Structure 1
Amino acid sequence: MGIKSFQGIRKVVKKEFDAPILVEDYMTRKLVSFSPEQSILEVMELFTKHNISGGPVLDTNGFLVGIISEADCMKTISESRYFNQPILDKRVDNYMTKNVETIGNDISIFDAAGIFHKNNRRRLPVLKDGLLVGQISRKDIVIAALKLSGQNW
């Protein structure tokens, strides 16, 4: 005689993956931005005030023209010390990274993680239809991965 089950017919439950996985779900939207004409000294003050390590540089029309980081500021400090010149007159446009790698708002955080790993960047400006809509950092990707860790990828 076979074993009888008293549980009845089991319904097959399919796990649905509904956690957000796009860059736009985890990016920072409120950015501290800079202009090419700003002084490096002012940028460093804003870095410390807002506890950030870099940000986008926008022209007068709001288009992305570069990115400035703490590393760029370190270069300025180093050169100023070497040439014995004050950093007060140094401008952002002379030290910012001009060929900025960007990322689309509609790609997955997994693809973004691959871009970060491949290119060794700390942050990437996020564009939608060619306009800056935010910025995503390596830390944002880690936070997203922690939120998704209970899910099956």
Structure 2
Amino acid sequence: MKKRTESTEVDLSGVGLTDADIYEAMKSISGYIDITPGDFKELYCIAYRHAMERFARSVSARDIMATKVVSVQPENPLADVVEVMSEHGVSGVPVLDSEGKVLGVISEKDILFQFLGEKTGNFMAALQRCLHAGGCMAVPVRKLKAGEVMTSPAVTVSEDAFLGEIVELLTQKGINRLPVTDPDGRLAGIIARSDIVNATMRGRTCSWNT
């Protein structure tokens, strides 16, 4: 077995593997293993990275999306949208036309923008401004419709999009959810960051496939 070279770099920041873990793992294997703890750590991390990359290419949006989606229509008053989001405990909803096609998405950030007149992702900062600085425009906002508040066009993915593509899109766009659409653009489901976490945790189960 090749020894590791000094030029090899392994990122352990997300693995949490300690020397004690390695020694325990090595002791649990029967027989003699001609490998150093350093080699063991490098081998584990490389294998883990390859396994996760393979996992990201094998799981599709269809596999992890929620199919029961809370949605609104463009003519719904913003007050109704807020009520729906509050009742269902969601931080964003897709806006659909009469055929179920995704027109846009309304998030908490979109609603905060209407109240403050400026972009902010900090709800507590928005609340502080409303309470202390007189910057809350509640009365005019009540007259708005969902179609006037939504971010459009919505960022969406197809049902066949792989996990790696979904994670990259969420990160690049700085969003927390992705509507999943069928070939005709109709809503098929939605993926939240929590769905990504759950899928990744399932993929970390240790098994040996031959």
Q: TM-score, normalised by structure 1?
A: 0.78
2:89 corresponds to 1:34: no
Question: Which residue does 1:59 correspond to in 2?
Answer: 97
1:116 is matched with 170
Greater RCO structure (CA 8 Å; 6+ sep):
1
Do the aligned residues in 1 keep the contact of 2:115 with 2:137 (CA within 8 Å)?
no
2:111 is aligned with what amino acid?
A: C
Moved beyond 3 Å, runs of 4+: 79-86
Q: Which has the higher helix share?
A: 2
Q: Whole-Å Cα distance in 2 between the matches of residues 115 and 36 of structure 1?
A: 25
Structure-2 separation of matches of 1:88 and 1:39: 7
- Of Structure 1 and Structure 2, the greater strand share is in 1
Deviation at 1:104, TM superposition (A): 1.1
- Deviation of 1:85 (Å): 3.2
State the secondary structure of the residue aligned to 1:117.
Answer: helix
Q: What is the number of residues matched between the two proteins? A: 135
Matched, 1:100 2:154: yes
Structure 1's 132 and 50: CA in aligned 2 closer, same or farther, altered over 3 A? same
Aligned-partner Cα distance in 2 for 1:108–1:135 = 14
The answer for unaligned runs of 5 or more in structure 2 is 1-53, 118-129
Shift of 1:84: 6.9
Q: How does 1:42-81 map to 2 (within 5 A)?
A: 42-79=80-117, 81=135
Equivalence for 1:128: 182
Percent of residue pairs bearing the same amino acid type: 29
**Rounded Cα–Cα distance in structure 1 between residues aligned with 2:88 and 2:138:** 29
Distance 1:124 1:24 in 2: 12
**Alignment match, 1:138:** 193
Which amino acid is the alignment partner of residue 26 of structure 1?
A: I
Question: Quick one: distance in 1 between partners of 2:173 and 2:114?
Answer: 23
Unaligned runs of 5+ in 1: 1-16
Q: Distance in 1 between matches of 2:137 and 2:174?
A: 30
Q: Which amino acid is 2:197 matched to?
A: V
